Chain A
């Protein structure tokens, strides 16, 4: 067991740190959360800067350890997060890289890396949330096109996306996991209606997408027809594997800020609160170590994260909620003021035990796939 990095990795870290120190002061101010075109431009601009500096491909091309260092250092330096590039860089991109044809890779990967295209995710449906394979959006062949009708929900960045990674049912007769295909749908195609959804945090973070006989070329299908479920599992293993590295680093920073705030406002003298902060320190230290463990394991097994991601996600999503609940106790009644720091984060954290597979689903995955318990109901 070794927690030291190789000279090459340390050199990468030093070079990245130096570069971040140079470019971050020149970044434009962050747009407000409701300014979607502004957010799109900001996030794509950041990706372009990364690309020009040679860091554009770090999410796919680099080793898991180098990626870990990248996420750690960018978060530490307060650099922008992937934002609107999340689906392109962390879902669709890796999926196309792993499962797409050479022509598809050429067509889509470079624009994602250069910060030219925003992708969104058309997986969830109103009647198929955690039971993802129960999706009903239909696609039938008409010449060289699929004709797609149905609706998707919880689609982040749909309003400003150029492409959508879309799961459709291409064989309604097949068992529910078998008749699904994975399509890249251009968001400017006729028949697409996007309706923003307001979250409990007050922001329009995601949208409903309605599809009325939208034509998608068959050439846009990634993987075989009716093999979309397997393709999707590749994507989801990325989502649950290392997608939260930067956030763990961020949570550790928030924890230090909270402790300092508690010292300023006197709450630090309360031993119960102090010990809760101590326990959260243990929690996030351990989550960081678990991240390093999972990354080392992924490196040993050739890059694709295993079900260990479910273990991590379960613990992390609850720890994050604990963190911001503790923040509310540090703030006292000021936690009712939306303009105070951490209050919006507290609201956002409520989604963590629901998004990307609810905690209940993750428990079943851990119980059945790791502990070998019989399939539940």
Chain B
């Protein structure tokens, strides 16, 4: 057992982080907020060229030929960078929808019974989107539709990659909170010297590490119950982490200018993707008595 990142996995994570820093930095994020509901096609093709969508596609089919653990690391970085777009749907369509793998085609999906993301901006929509009604989305970077007959059944891989994005969000808000706590001074010293603030930051980090262990393990086992557990803990780490980060930022955290609300809103959107929390909880409860029935 060596439950640690391999050298190759570390390199992949670092390369993904660099790629995203180059093509989707803070400035690009701000621009995206000012131009909501438009998808950056050039960025999408860059992601495609880097193998983001074809990561798990066999090499014989023009893919990168890697596995779920590597996909999870890439999606963690996407979550950390707050990258917008139907990333999971397009990744899952690689090899099935022509053009998805190289990023020339944007694929959205209707699944899991939650609101559908990016329906009108996508080139291809998988699933039955008839009767879709647009919502005024809480997340300025994710256009949403309510789809009447959407079914609850969902792909566990979609749930796992969503959990990976949530983990990335949790990592980022933990960084933002600690950074602010180290530098912002009140009463003549950095606020991070106050135990109440230390506690908020420490709890955020603890949630990150617990979620990370669960998400990475689920990527290795691909077991649906492990994935359900990873999903619950990653949702908690992202949503609670973003809220605590906002609290650490004080009044600034409540403004449109602070980055943290974007993380919180995206984390909320993801909690309704690929199945609800209650479904994961029910699955995990049934698992406890599975051997007995």
Contacts and interface: CB of A to CB of B under 8 A. Distances in A.
Interface of A: 1-6, 9, 65, 255-256, 258-260, 263, 268, 271, 274-275, 277-279, 281-283, 285-287, 289-290, 292-293, 295-297, 299-300, 308, 311, 314-315, 360, 362-364, 366-368, 370-377
Contacts of B189: 374
Given A2-B220, A255-B288, A285 B4 contact: no
Nearest to A362: B202
Interface residues of B, number: 57
A296 B209 contact: no
A189 B182 CA distance: 51
A90 to B, nearest CB: 22
Interface stretch (B112-120, B124-132, B276-284): B276-284
B126 to A, nearest CB: 29
A296 B291 CA distance: 30
B207 to A, nearest CB: 8
B267 interface: no
Given A282-B214, A285-B225, A363-B198, 17 more contacts: A1-B2, A1-B9, A6-B1, A9-B1, A271-B282, A278-B286, A278-B287, A282-B233, A285-B226, A285-B229, A286-B213, A286-B229, A293-B4, A296-B3, A363-B195, A364-B202, A366-B202
A373 B194 CA distance: 9
B1 A367 contact: no
B289 A263 contact: yes
Given A297-B4, A377-B193, A278 B280 contact: yes
Most chain A CB inside 10 Å of its own CB: which residue of B1, B2, B4:
B1
Contacts of A371: 174, 178, 181, 192, 201-202, 205
A279 B230 CA distance: 11
Contacts, number: 179
B211 interface: yes
A245 to B, nearest CB: 13
Main SS at interface, chain B: helix
Nearest to B292: A260
A260 B291 CA distance: 10
Contacts of A295: 1, 3
A32 to B, nearest CB: 31
B69 interface: yes
Most chain A CB inside 10 Å of its own CB: which residue of B2, B228, B289:
B2
Contact of A367 (B192, B232, B283, B292): B192
B236 to A, nearest CB: 9
Contacts of B287: 278, 281
Contacts of A364: 195, 198, 202
A259 to B, nearest CB: 4
B286 to A, nearest CB: 8
Contacts of A362: 202
Given A277-B285, A372-B178, A4 B210 contact: no
Interface string B170-198: 00001000100110000001101111011
B289 A260 contact: yes
Contact of A275 (B199, B229, B282): B282
